[in-house]
Structure 1
Amino acid sequence: MQREVGPQVQPMPPHAAAAVKKRGPPWPAAAGNWNPRLWDWDRRALTARPSADALRLAGGQPHQATEVHRQGAGGSGALKLQLGPRECSATPTDASPTSSPPASGQILVVRPSKQVRSGSPGSVGGGGAANGGAGYPMFQSELIHVPPPPCSRPRYVMAPPLVFTSIGASMNAAVRDVWASNFDEELSNLSAVLPRYPCVCLDTEFPGAVHDSDMPRYMRGPRESYELVKRNVDDLKLLQVGIALSGPAGRFPIAWQFNIRGFDPALHPHAPASIAMLREQGMDFAMLNEFGIDPEDFAAGFRRSGLACGWLTWTAFSGSYDFGYLAKALTGGQPLPDTLDGFLALVRRLFGHSVFDVKHLARCCALRGGLEQVATALGVKRAAGRAHCAGSDSLLTTDVLLLMMDRFFRNVDVLAHAGTIVDLT
């Protein structure tokens, strides 16, 4: 038996109850073909909400009637409300048969009548069926004014964890080598997809570490760790920069591997073990020095591409050296700031406030070890390339991040971890 609100209120018709029921999104599952244009990205919360068009298609709350017209001939008394892809009929109330469609900037909102919500036996039209039928309408409609959206920059930010559901790891991927000859072309390709994939995963390759500390690592504080990072970054050369992108549609299937020239093992300081390991992984230092990108051209192209605009989300795995080497390249090879606070301020100025260390996020999920160990624990396989190559490692880091977001951070405010870099904060 249907519960009554009061003796004067008639039960809500089934079709009317369906009209005010909140509808789900029009997409069936997270692994489907997502349209990034149906999302508004929230950079601070690291979430994406359906855009106004998506809510209109889904019939969100409150329902936005896009068409109100008379149905039938001879005054049948039914109004059809077209709610996105679905339609329902409701009893006419304040809207007359001759009502014109809502003007631009106005929305026709249909909601339960105030008299139904707060009616009493003594209210006007009370008595319900006892007075010979519906004494007052079950629904009321009104036009509300919607102000135009503010003119601001596009809301491009990191996609939500719910969108990332295992899309990245299942896609085919490729690493595209970028040299001086195709630098401008590939930079244009990267810039074209950047608005739809605003989460940038960074990885760098460099000739090891030539400075160490007598203090054990577990005893070093952030300032001692930064002093060691600064000494190595200031004295060594950058070899490769790997960039992988992701967004509401998942991980972009191509990673860019920028090869930087300027390093000669016979002239510049390096760690011999690191150089031998990089050679085993296929790095040709003669080719790198002959056909690589000039560091000044790389810095200018980086700023021109939109990567340094501040609204992107930047991620790296144990990113102290990654952000250090890239910051040095973007400042014309200048030494890093003398203090840790100065370095963190430089990172915020170059990359914005949405900077995340995937290793720190992994520690929050009780996952320890390097990138390979964390990927193995999560069951993530390398999509393309070989280990210790910047492009391949950036792809693997992205897939690890996407899986962790879906598995551990569905209902967690990830913004609390922004700006945390392992060993430096």
Structure 2
Amino acid sequence: MASLPKEFETFVVNYNMQPETWDIEKVIAMCTQEEERITALHGGSLNYVKEKKKGFLPNKGSPSKPQGNGNGNGKAPVHYQHRHIPVDRETGVHCKEKGHYKKDCPVFLKTFMAKRGNSSAQHPARGSIDRSICMNPAAGMFPMFPPPPPPEMPFSYHTFPAPPPPFYFHNAAPVPVVCSVWASNFRDESHNLRRMAWNARYVAVNVQYPGLVHHHAGKDHNVLTVEERYSVVKANVDTLKPLQVGVALRDADGRHLGAWEFNLRDFCRLADPCDGNSLKYLDDRGLNVDELRVRGLSAKMLREALLCSGLLDARGGRSWIVYAGAYHVSYLLKLLTGGAPLPEDMAGFVDAVRSYLGDQVYDVARMAADCPAMPLGLERITAHLGFQSPLGSPCLAAAAGVHALQVFMRLKYGELGGDVERHQGLLQGLH
């Protein structure tokens, strides 16, 4: 483009304004068309001389160049000027109509494109130019390309069934390890909990407590109303003290982050109410209540660790997982509120759960009830699905949290196909 004469300035400017890049054959075709237009405007000649240069021998046969010898001795140079004719007075050569120039004449453009089409048919080597391009009279010499093809149909996103997270393969994942937390290692392990909590997307909680001491007299639990069930849960949680709290974490891809078992010292076998059979059951599973009284940490220490960990940050969008979670969630609320009594009614309890844990609370027992092939009981479901028990403390609170997470991930992305919204906020034992 830089080698073209200055008469092509308009052509070069228009070319630079085009978004696409022309190939060499297209440039030649467009230059030819522009040359014909400029030639017609200048009376049949394009390369005319305005003034004589030293040593220039003009062509005598060219009417547009001045006559004279090469050393400047001759006739004075003749300057040719183009006579401008207003467009409303000029008659088109092809259509014999006034009001437009030749470059804008639709008859000329149609004839020109017909010639180009015949030329490309006779010269296959130049047939790479797209002859399907039509000329836009309003745009002058520049082509108007066909409209783009219609957009393809939008991609349909299927949310059911949902694919599992890329790193969740229960048969290939390493066996989780439970860390038992006592007063001696509480500082280090609470730091580890804070470090892992910010990457956690799923949090499982399980609480070991000394049985039940309040029951609804004269009625079976299955026929009680929601408010009657909650009154029984509230009476027991307000009276009893938790023994052990298990916390297990997984990230958004389903990878295990850690499991902690916090041993609490606030319960006294001789002074606090309890169910003797429940304590014997826990003792058979490896929980020494007397050792908790000596080596354990206080509920106040655990409360501060949980509140400072970041797990309760609503911006994290975390899901809280429990199994038969009416008592587990209730004891967790009691710990987080510093031992305050639970709300008086079910509506207040639901509001408190949403305030501390958010809306995404899931009970694995309610999810398993929708799967006919699943047995009853967390340990039976775990064995049925082929999960291994965690190392360190395989039978207590942290192990139950690990198993609840394993089963939740399997049911969510397996049997339930990712559709767990209908189980949100429903707790076994209350709803």
Bucket of the pairwise TM-score, normalised by the shorter protein? 0.5 to 0.7
- Is the counterpart of residue 282 in structure 1 residue 286 in structure 2? yes
- SS of alignment partner, residue 234 of structure 1: helix
Q: Tell me the residue number matched to 2:396.
A: 389
Q: In structure 2, what is the equivalent of residue 318 of structure 1? A: 324
Cα drift, residue 329 of structure 1:
1.0
Quick one: distance in 1 between partners of 2:392 and 2:260?
A: 12
Q: What is the percentage of aligned positions where both structures have the same residue?
A: 31
Contact 1:176/1:256, CA 8 A, preserved across alignment: yes
Query: What is the CA–CA distance in structure 2 between the aligned matches of 1:271 and 1:390, rounded to whole Å?
Result: 18
Of 178, 185, 188, which aligns to 2:188? 185
Q: How does 1:18-417 map to 2 (within 5 A)?
A: 94=19, 133-135=129-131, 161-163=164-166, 165-167=168-170, 170-213=173-216, 214-252=218-256, 254-310=258-314, 311=316, 312-366=318-372, 367-385=374-392, 388-410=395-417, 412-417=418-423
Q: Distance in 1 between matches of 2:250 and 2:163?
A: 11
What displacement does 1:254 show? 3.0
- Offset at 1:388? 4.6
**Larger relative helix fraction:** 2
Which consecutive residues of structure 2, in runs of 5 or more, have no partner in the other structure? 1-17, 23-109, 122-126, 134-144, 149-161
Partner AA of 2:130 in structure 1: A
Give the whole-Å Cα distance in 1 for the aligned partners of 2:147 and 2:297: 67
For the residue of structure 1 that corresponds to 2:354, the secondary structure is: helix
Q: Secondary structure at the match of 1:250?
A: coil
Shift, 1:389, TM fit: 0.7
Whole-angstrom distance in 2 between the partners of 1:387 and 1:369:
19
State the SS of the aligned residue for 2:212.
Answer: coil
SS of residue in 1 equivalent to 2:246: strand
Distance 2:354 2:190 in 1: 23
The 10-residue stretch of structure 1 (230-239 or 279-288) with the greater mean CA deviation from structure 2: 279-288
Residues 270-309 of structure 1: CA deviation (Å, up to 9, x unaligned): 1111111111122222221122111112112211111221
CA–CA distance in structure 2, aligned partners of residues 169 and 202 of structure 1: 24
Distance (Å, rounded) in 1 between the aligned partners of 2:171 and 2:204: 13
| SS across alignment from 2:274 | coil
Which of these two proteins has the greater Rg computed from alpha carbons?
2
RMSD (Å) for aligned C-alpha atoms: 3.1
> SS where residue 205 of structure 2 aligns?
strand
CA contact 1:175–1:254 (8 Å) conserved in 2: yes
Partner Cα separation in structure 2 for residue 220 and residue 387 of structure 1: 34
> How far 1:359 moved relative to its partner?
0.8
Q: CA deviation at 1:253?
A: 5.4
Aligned residues: 288
Structure 1 residue matching 2:206: 3-state secondary structure: strand
CA 1:138/1:373 → structure 2, altered by over 3 Å: closer, same or farther?
farther
2:240/2:274 contact within 8 Å kept: yes
The answer to whether the 8 A contact 1:315-1:358 is kept is: yes
Which letter does structure 1 place at the counterpart of 2:429? D
**Residue identity matched to 1:307:** L
Report Cα offsets for 1:368-414 as digits up to 9, x if no partner: 5221222233333323355651011111111111221231233x432
1:96 Cα deviation after fit: 5.2
Check conservation: 1:174, 1:253, Cα contact below 8 A.
no
Task: Verify: 1:424 aligned to 2:421, yes or no.
Answer: no
Give the distance between the partners of 2:146 and 2:325, measured in 1 at CA: 60
What's the CA shift string for 1:89-131, capped at 9, x where partnerless?
xxxx94659xxxxxxxxxxxxxxxxxxxxxxxx9xx9x99988
CA displacement, residues 147-196 of structure 1 (integer Å, 9 cap, x when unaligned): xxxxxxxxxxxx97444643477322111011122222212212212232
Further displaced range: 169-178 or 348-357: 169-178
Distance in 1, matches of 2:147 and 2:175, equals: 52
Pick the structure with more strand per residue. Answer: 1
User: How far apart are the structure 2 equivalents of 1:169 and 1:224?
Assistant: 45
* Separation in 2, partners of 1:250, 1:168: 13
Contact 1:317 / 1:357 at 8 angstroms: preserved in 2? Answer: yes
Please give the secondary structure, in 2, of the residue aligned with 1:176: strand
SS of aligned partner of 1:231: helix
Alignment partner, residue 141 of structure 2: none
Deviations 1:228-260 (A, max 9, x none): 111111111111110111123423253100111
Question: Residue 170 of structure 1 aligns to a residue in which SS?
Answer: coil
